[in-house]
C-alpha cells in the first residue's frame, strides 16, 4: 500500500509564536530556556498534527530558529572565521551569524531558489574546516521518539549545501571541500543510525538548476560514500524538473527519490522507465508553494498507474516543504465562503495527501465526499463571474510597445531631472519605510477592529508623517520619504486597494528569521479602483521643500510575493498589475511628485530556475515594469530597488528596465555585488547600500566611507547615490537615526574628497 510523508511544515506557529519568542529573546524579554521551550512546544505540536492527519513519516529537522541552511552550517561547524573558533555552535553564535554583532557583519542573505524565503549563504575558503558542532537535530529526533511518531530525519544534502554557498577568496573552488564535508556528513548519518532512525530525507534542490558538469559528476561518489552505515536515504528534489538526470539519479545507491510533479509533471515518465525494484518513488502531487485546493481526481489519475506498479514503494507527499504555505485555513473565519472553498493551507494540503492515499489503498468510495468537494471547488472557481473584468481585458489588448518606452533616452532625461531637482553630488536618501513603532501598529489594529474612526486614524498617520519628515530634515537627507506608517506590508497594502486581490487574517509565511509576511491572494483580474498612495505622499511633500519620493511596489514583486491564480499565465496577471501601477504613477505626477520609486526586490527571484527559460521571463517581466513606469514624463525621476540577489547574469535585463536610479543591497557582500555593475558598464545611476538594515548594528561613518570608496572605484561617483540596503521598517528609531547620521556624514566626507 502507498505511504504518506511530508517534506517539512511551517515552523512559525498558528499565532506566530516563534516570531514573538525570537523578538522577545533578542530584546532581552525572555531567556534562552524560555525560547527553547517555545521551539520544543511548536515542534511537538506540528509532529502530532501531521500524525493525526494521516501522515506516515514525520519530518524532524525542518524546524529552525532562523533558517534551515544556517542550521546545516551550525551542524557542520562551518562558522565564518570572523565569529571566532568554537567547537560548539550555541544559540548565541547561531544568531550572531544570522544577525551580526557590534563588531562583525552578519552572513550574506539571499533568496531560496525562486521563493520569497531567504537563507544565510555559507562561506567557504581553502581553510574551511568541518566538524559536528551542534546537536539540535539529534536532540529533536529524541523528542520525536518520545512522542512515538514515525520520525524521518531531514538534512540539506552536501552537494546543494556547497553549491548554494560562496567562495570567500579568489581562485578557490568550493567543490574541492566535498571530501572533507562528506566525512562529517557520514558521522552525522552514523549517529542517526545509532539513534535507530530508519529514513533520512536528504534534500538536493540544487539538482533543478543548471549544475555544471563537475558538480553532477560528484553525485555518484557522494552518495556512494553516504549510503554506507546510514539510514535509508530518500534523495529529495523540488521546485522543478530533474528528468535530464533521470538515469544518473536512478543509479545512485539511495533507497528512494522524491520528485516535484506540481512544477514538473512531465518528468514522471522518465523515472518510471526502468525504475529500480529496490527503490521508493515519492511523488509530490499537492502544491507546497501555492494555496489552491488540489484537484483530487486529477492527482488520483496520475497516481493510480504508479501505485499499481509500485505498491508500497509509492510515497505520496506535497511537492516541497510546506514552509512556503500558511498553516491552517480553518482559522480564516472571516474569509469569503466561496473563495475559501477554493483554498488549502498546510493542514488542508496534508489532509489531501492522506485522502489520496486512502483512495489508492481503500478505493475511491472511501473518499467520495472529499472527491465531490474537490470537484465542486474546481467547477465553482471556473464558473465564478468575480474572476473576470471586461475593462481590464480590454486595456490589456490595447497595450503596445509605445506604452513601454520613456519619451527620451536616459542621457536626456538626466539633464532635465537634475535641473528640476537640484540635488548635491552623491545625494542621500532611504529606501522608503521608517520604523513601524508599537504606537503605529496599535493605531492600525484599532482601525481594523473598528475602535478608531478613519478620520482619527488619518490624523494620527499625518502626525507620524510630519514626525518622519522632521527627523529626516534634521538628519540632513537630500531626498525624503513619507515613512509608510500607514502600510502594513509593501505588498499587502497595495493588494488591499486593488480589485482581484483577497486577504487572510492568519495566512502568515516566514520570509527570514522572525520576519513573516501575509501574502495576498490574486484570484481574478486586477484593476485599480482609485488612488492608493497619493494623499499620503502629497501631504508629506507639502511639509518640505526637499523632494519626497512616491513609494510604490512594482508589478513583478506584487506578483511574486502573492499567491497567484493558476488559471492563466503569470505574465498576463503581471501585465494587469502593471497597468494599475501605471495609473498610480500618473496620479502621483499630477499631484506634483517629482521622484517615484517602484520597488522590484523580487525581479531576480522571478527567474525560472533553468537558464533556457530566462529569455521569455525577461521579455514579459521587463515589459511589465516598463508598462508601470514609462508613462512618466522625462522630468520625473523613476527609481527602483532590488535586494539580496546575484545580479551578474541579469544585468542586461535590469538595464533594459530603464529606471533612472537603481538602489541595491551591497553591504553584506562588502560591495562585491557592485562589481558586476561596473564590469557591465551599467548606464544609469546607482545607489549601493552602505549599511545592513537587517542587523541592529550601527556601522561607523568610517566604515561607510570605505564602502563608498570601493563603490567609486567601480562606478563614476557622479552617478552614485547613498542609501541603506533596504527599508527601515523593522528597526528602532535610535539605531536608525544614529546610522543615518553616519551615512550623511559619510556623504559629506566623500563630497569633500571629490571636490
Show which residues are catalytic.
694
- Bridge-based pairing of strands 3-4 and 314-318 is parallel
Contacts of residue 353, Cβ cutoff 8 Å, sequence gap at least 6: 4, 6, 54, 55, 286, 316, 317, 318
Distance in angstroms (rounded) separating the CA atoms of residues 481 and 549: 5
Task: Evaluate whether 78 touches 122 at the Cβ level (below 8 Å).
Answer: yes
Residue carrying the nine cell digits 498576463: 572
Contacts of residue 713, Cβ cutoff 8 Å, sequence gap at least 6: 678
- DSSP letter assigned to residue 372: H
Strand 232-236: give its sheet, edge to edge.
3-4, 314-318, 280-286, 256-260, 232-236, 199-203, 151-156, 58-60
Taking residue 14's Cβ as centre, other Cβ atoms within 10 Å add up to 18
- E strand residue ranges, 262-394: 280-286, 314-318
Nearest to 142 by CA among 74, 72, 192: 192
- Distances in whole angstroms, Cα of residue 674 to Cα of each of 310, 399, 625, 693: 52, 35, 22, 18
- Bridge-based pairing of strands 661-664 and 685-688 is parallel
Distance in angstroms (rounded) separating the CA atoms of residues 38 and 466: 40
Distance in angstroms (rounded) separating the CA atoms of residues 318 and 356: 11
In the three-class reduction of DSSP (H, G, I as helix; E, B as strand; rest coil), residue 409 is classed as: coil
- ∠ CA 331-332-335 to the nearest 5 degrees? 170
C-alpha cell, 577: 498589475
- SS3 of 248-277: HHHHCCCCEEEEECCCCHHHHHHHHCCCCC
Amino acid at each position: 500500500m502507498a505511504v504518506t510523508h511530508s517534506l517539512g511544515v511551517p515552523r512559525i506557529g498558528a499565532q506566530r509564536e516563534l516570531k514573538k519568542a525570537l523578538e522577545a529573546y533578542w530584546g532581552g524579554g525572555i531567556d534562552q530556556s524560555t525560547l527553547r521551550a517555545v521551539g520544543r512546544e511548536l515542534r511537538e505540536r506540528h509532529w502530532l498534527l501531521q500524525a493525526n492527519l494521516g501522515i506516515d513519516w514525520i519530518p524532524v529537522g525542518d524546524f529552525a530558529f532562523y533558517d534551515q541552511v544556517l542550521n546545516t552550517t551550525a551542524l557542520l561547524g562551518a562558522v565564518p572565521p570572523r565569529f571566532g573558533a568554537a567547537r560548539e555552535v550555541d544559540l548565541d553564535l547561531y544568531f550572531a551569524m544570522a544577525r551580526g554583532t557590534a563588531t562583525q557583519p552578519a552572513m550574506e542573505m539571499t533568496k531560496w531558489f525562486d521563493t520569497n524565503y531567504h537563507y544565510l549563504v555559507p562561506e567557504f575558503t581553502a581553510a574551511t574546516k568541518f566538524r559536528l558542532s551542534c546537536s539540535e537535530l539529534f536532540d529533536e529526533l529524541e523528542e520525536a521518539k518520545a512522542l512515538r511518531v514515525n520520525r524521518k530525519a531531514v538534512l540539506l544534502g552536501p552537494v546543494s549545501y556547497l553549491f548554494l554557498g560562496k567562495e570567500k577568496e579568489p581562485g578557490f573552488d568550493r567543490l574541492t571541500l566535498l571530501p572533507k564535508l562528506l566525512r562529517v556528513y557520514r558521522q552525522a548519518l552514523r549517529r542517526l543510525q545509532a539513534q535507530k532512525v530508519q529514513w533520512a530525507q536528504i534534500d538536493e534542490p540544487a539538482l533543478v538548476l543548471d549544475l555544471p558538469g563537475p558538480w553532477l559528476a560528484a553525485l555518484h561518489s557522494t552518495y556512494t560514500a553516504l549510503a554506507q552505515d546510514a539510514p535509508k536515504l530518500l534523495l529529495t528534489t523540488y521546485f522543478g524538473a530533474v528528468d535530464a538526470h533521470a538515469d544518473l539519479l536512478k543509479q545512485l545507491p539511495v533507497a528512494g527519490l522524491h520528485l516535484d510533479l506540481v512544477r514538473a509533471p512531465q518528468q514522471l515518465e522518465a523515472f518510471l522507465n526502468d525504475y529500480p525494484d529496490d527503490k521508493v518513488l515519492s511523488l509530490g502531487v499537492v502544491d507546497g508553494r501555492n494555496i489552491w485546493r488540489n484537484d483530487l481526481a486529477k492527482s488520483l489519475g496520475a497516481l493510480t498507474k504508479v501505485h499499481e506498479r509500485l505498491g508500497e514503494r509509492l510515497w505520496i507527499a506535497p511537492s516541497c516543504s510546506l514552509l512556503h504555505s500558511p498553516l491552517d485555513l480553518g482559522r480564516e473565519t472571516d474569509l469569503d465562503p466561496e473563495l475559501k472553498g477554493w483554498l488549502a493551507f498546510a493542514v488542508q494540503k496534508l489532509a489531501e495527501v492522506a485522502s489520496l492515499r486512502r483512495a489508492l489503498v481503500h478505493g475511491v468510495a472511501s473518499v467520495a465526499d472529499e472527491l465531490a468537494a474537490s470537484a465542486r471547488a474546481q467547477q465553482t472557481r471556473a464558473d465564478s463571474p468575480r474572476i473576470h473584468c471586461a475593462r481590464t481585458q480590454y486595456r490589456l489588448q490595447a497595450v503596445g510597445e509605445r506604452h513601454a518606452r520613456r519619451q527620451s533616452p536616459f542621457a536626456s532625461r538626466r539633464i532635465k531631472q537634475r535641473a528640476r531637482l537640484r540635488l548635491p553630488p552623491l545625494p542621500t536618501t532611504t529606501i522608503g519605510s521608517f520604523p513601524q513603532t508599537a504606537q503605529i501598529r496599535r493605531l492600525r489594529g484599532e482601525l481594523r477592529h473598528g475602535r478608531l474612526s478613519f478620520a482619527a486614524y488619518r490624523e494620527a498617520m499625518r502626525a507620524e508623517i510630519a514626525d518622519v519628515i522632521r527627523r529626516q530634515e534634521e538628519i540632513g537627507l537630500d531626498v525624503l520619504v513619507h515613512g509608510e506608517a500607514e502600510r502594513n506590508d509593501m505588498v499587502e497594502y497595495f493588494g488591499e486597494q486593488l480589485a482581484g486581490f483577497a486577504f487572510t487574517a492568519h495566512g502568515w509565511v516566514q520570509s527570514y528569521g522572525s520576519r513573516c509576511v501575509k501574502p495576498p491572494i490574486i484570484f481574478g483580474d486586477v484593476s485599480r479602483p482609485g488612488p492608493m498612495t497619493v494623499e499620503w505622499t502629497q501631504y508629506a511633500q507639502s511639509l518640505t521643500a526637499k523632494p519626497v519620493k512616491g513609494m510604490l511596489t512594482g508589478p513583478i514583486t506584487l506578483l511574486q510575493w502573492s499567491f497567484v491564480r493558476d488559471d492563466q499565465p503569470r505574465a498576463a496577471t503581471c501585465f494587469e498589475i502593471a497597468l494599475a501601477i501605471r495609473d498610480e504613477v500618473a496620479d502621483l505626477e499630477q499631484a506634483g511628485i517629482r521622484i517615484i520609486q517602484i520597488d522590484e526586490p523580487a525581479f531576480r527571484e522571478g527567474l525560472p530556475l533553468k537558464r533556457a527559460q530566462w529569455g521569455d521571463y525577461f521579455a514579459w517581466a521587463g515589459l511589465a515594469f516598463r508598462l508601470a513606469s514609462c508613462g512618466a514624463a522625462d522630468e520625473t525621476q523613476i527609481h527602483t530597488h532590488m535586494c539580496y540577489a546575484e545580479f551578474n547574469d541579469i544585468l542586461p535585463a535590469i538595464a533594459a528596465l530603464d529606471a533612472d536610479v537603481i538602489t541595491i543591497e551591497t553591504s553584506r557582500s562588502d560591495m562585491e555585488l557592485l562589481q558586476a555593475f561596473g564590469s557591465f558598464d551599467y548606464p544609469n545611476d546607482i545607489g549601493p547600500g552602505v549599511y545592513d538594515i537587517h542587523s541592529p548594528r550601527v556601522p561607523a561613518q568610517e566604515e561607510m566611507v570605505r564602502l563608498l570608496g570601493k563603490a567609486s572605484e567601480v562606478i563614476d561617483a557622479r552617478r552614485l547615490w547613498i542609501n541603506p540596503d533596504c527599508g527601515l521598517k523593522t528597526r528602532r528609531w535610535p539605531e536608525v537615526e544614529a546610522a543615518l547620521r553616519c551615512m550623511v556624514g559619510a556623504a559629506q566626507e566623500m563630497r569633500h574628497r571629490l571636490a
